[in-house]
Structure 1
Amino acid sequence: MNKNDFKVTIFSLSERLFPLVVRLLGDKTKAEDAIQEIMIKLWEKRNQLENHPNIKGFVFLTARNYCLDILRKKRILVNDGEIYLNLLSDSNEHSYIESQELNEIIKEILKKLPNQQREIFIMRDLDGYEFMEIAAIMELKITNVRVLLSRARKTISIALEKTYSYERGNY
């Protein structure tokens, strides 16, 4: 794989990697550094990647594994880490406060989800990854990804309904 092929095939994915890496590492600066390191590792393996059947999946898997290695070295548990989300925002001050409240409620619900469900939900519904990409990253079959996503959405829906039913006095 020459420089131009690498640039078109692999380096072009760096922007799509960014949300995943930021979420895992929890810091934009660390994520930028990590993406540079990941690209260097992939450049060193460029000749092996040329014949890989799923280059895109391999790139995402490499990024995820690199981030998990960094977290393990620092002895940070991904499950206990802060979930960095900004799901909703509004310029109206009243709506802004409500959206911040909703963000906090959803963060708490996401913390209670099983790890795989949480990861898949965030990758699909918040980061916008395709099912094939998620399957490659998580090393699962696409059908498993769909099932886990469905379960996560159902759990979140039920938890939100309970929260709002409580707030309305319908408990």
Structure 2
Amino acid sequence: MKQTEFLKTVMPFKDKVFRLAKRLLVSTEEAEDATQELFFKLWKNKGKLSNYKSVEAFAMTMTKNYCFDRLKSKQASNLSLVHSNYQEKGTSLDRRVELNDSVSKVHELIENLPEQQKLIIQLRDVEQYEFDEIAKMLNIKPTAVRVTLSRARKTIKEQLLKQHNYGVS
């Protein structure tokens, strides 16, 4: 596989790999490192990529595994918690602060979900993968993906409602 063919194969899902790494590792710098490491590994094994039915699914699985390994390593204690701020033009300062608080709260709630739920909500709601694709990536049944996603969404919704209705964090 030549460089141009490799780039044509892997570049379409580069942003998805980064977003998944960022969701799992939180830090932008760590996510960039994870993305770079993944593409280096794919390049080293470029001859074997044709053996995979979906190179994208394979890359997402590799990203997930790499991120989990990073989080388990000793260096994980050095990972910093950084959230990007949501900004909308033309809104008042009060409204922007309120929106930022809501987005931050949702990010916080997602971060507090169990790993499986966090991963599935990222793959489905952010990356827009189909249930069957997620099931293959995580080696579980599509029904389990649906149930896990439903539970994750329900947990987030309940926590948000509790916060908004009662001011409880």
Number of the residue aligned with 2:40: 40
Matched residues in 2 for 1:43 and 1:50: separation?
Answer: 12
- 8 Å Cα contact 2:18-2:32 kept in structure 1: yes
**Pairs aligned (count):** 163
- 8 Å Cα contact 2:24-2:119 kept in structure 1: no
Return the letter of the residue paired with 1:32.
E
**Cα RMSD (Å):** 2.7
| Paired residues for 1:13-162 under 5 Å | 13-74=13-74, 76=76, 82=81, 84=83, 86=85, 88-90=86-88, 91-125=91-125, 127-131=126-130, 132-162=132-162
Q: CA deviation at 1:165?
A: 2.2
- 8 Å Cα contact 1:60-1:136 kept in structure 2: no
Give CA deviations for 1:137-160 in whole Å, capped at 9, x if unaligned.
433233221221111112222222
* Structure-2-length-normalised TM-score: 0.79
User: Secondary structure in 2 aligned to 1:113?
Assistant: coil
In structure 2, runs of 5+ residues without a counterpart are none
Give CA deviations for 1:74-120 in whole Å, capped at 9, x if unaligned.
3537xxx848465x543420111211222343244334432211222
Return the letter of the residue paired with 2:128.
Y
Return the letter of the residue paired with 1:128.
E
Q: CA deviation at 1:62?
A: 0.9
Identity of aligned residues (%): 34
Matched residues in 1 for 2:121 and 2:146: separation?
Answer: 10
Matched residues in 2 for 1:84 and 1:143: separation?
Answer: 32
Matched residues in 2 for 1:108 and 1:129: separation?
Answer: 21
Number of the residue aligned with 1:2: 2
In structure 1, runs of 5+ residues without a counterpart are none
